[in-house]
Amino acid sequence: MKQTVFETSRGARLKVSAMGFGAAPLGDLYERLDEAAALATVEAAYEASVTLFDASPHYGNGLAEARCAAVLRRFPREDFVFSTKVGRVMEPFAPVEKPRDDVVAPGFAGGFPHRARIDYSYDGTMRAVEQSLLRTGFDRIDVLLIHDVDVWTHGADYERRYGEAMEGAYRALDELRRTGFTKAIGVGINEADVASRFLREGDFDVVLLAGRYSLLEQPALTEFLPLALEKKVGVLLGGVFNSGILATGPVEGAKFNYAPAPEDVMERVRRIKAVCVRHGVGLRSAALAFAAAHPAVISVVIGAVRPEEVRFNAADMAADVPSALWADLKREGLLAEGAPTPA
């Protein structure tokens, strides 16, 4: 698998695979997973030459971090880049909180029985990092991201949380970067405009953007991705299947942004898939090739819950896609005219 050596503005080097491993599903996102299968999935990713593993305390209240690390600790530490996030502190003595119904961010079907408390303060960030180290057994974390400071997650409380994050979490992560504990800091976020705001107001190395730049929608193309190029920020793209529909196709029950896909989205995907079929290309392969083609993108982060899914993802990532497919998608108004496509 292709590897990219990304150098931050401070000279730190991160060797990341074109396809990263997204651990959100390992936190029992949609269903409670078999433990052995979950661990085998992480091992399959490592065996497929994946070098970037992205987790978060949010994913199953720490379960995804623990599952990833249970496997990765078997291998030399310099063989992989481990990314995790701050913004939630676990409280093991408190009951698990039910997901809110006024925001879009998903809850989890399982995970550790610990209550997550949102905390973007300096002290809360340091505590979150400490808890991640205890769950993983690592002595350092390569990439630390401020997680979910957006309207998607916080609704009307977004502005207050953004201020808290810049005053507290950003200051803590910058300190950890200066001391060498972490190589890169950034944000993990669901909204392109908020990602742009962070880049304008802080000094970040990477951004993990979920769902806002895909074969289905490209709002990040207008401001965020050009800004990332200008500031030499490495972009990790998550959610390139829009939480399901670009992987499954427009089937009954297909998910879009963690909810059943509306009919207009289903119809657009039908049209995209029809173009792919004409060119003999799988929808998944087209989605991955498109996401990886933007010059700001250093890795496309994809989840899996079974070893065979990792192998399928790697094969789809390596598939050839003819340039005529992109031309047809643009001609039919299904792809932004200015979107970079594979050479």
Catalytic residues: 54, 59, 85
Using the 8-state DSSP alphabet, how is residue 77 labeled? G
Long-range interactions of 272-279: CB distance < 8 A, separation 24+: 272/215, 272/216, 272/329, 272/334, 273/249, 275/325, 275/328, 275/329, 275/332, 275/334, 276/325, 278/328, 279/321, 279/322, 279/324, 279/325, 279/328
Q: Given 3-state DSSP classes, what are the helix, strand and coil percentages for the chain, each rounded to the nearest 5?
A: 45, 20, 40
**What phi-psi label fits residue 155: left (phi over 0), alpha (psi between -120 and 50 degrees) or beta?**
left
Q: How far apart are CA 42 and CA 229, in angstroms?
A: 31
Helical axes 307-318 vs 283-293, angle rounded to 10°: 70
At position 3, the amino acid (one-letter code) is Q
Structure-block tokens of residue 195 = 């990602």
At residue 302, what are phi and psi to the nearest 5 degrees? -125, 140
- Cβ within 8 Å of residue 123, ≥6 positions away: 168
105 CB-contact burial (10 Å; exposed 0-12 / middle 13-18 / buried 19+): middle
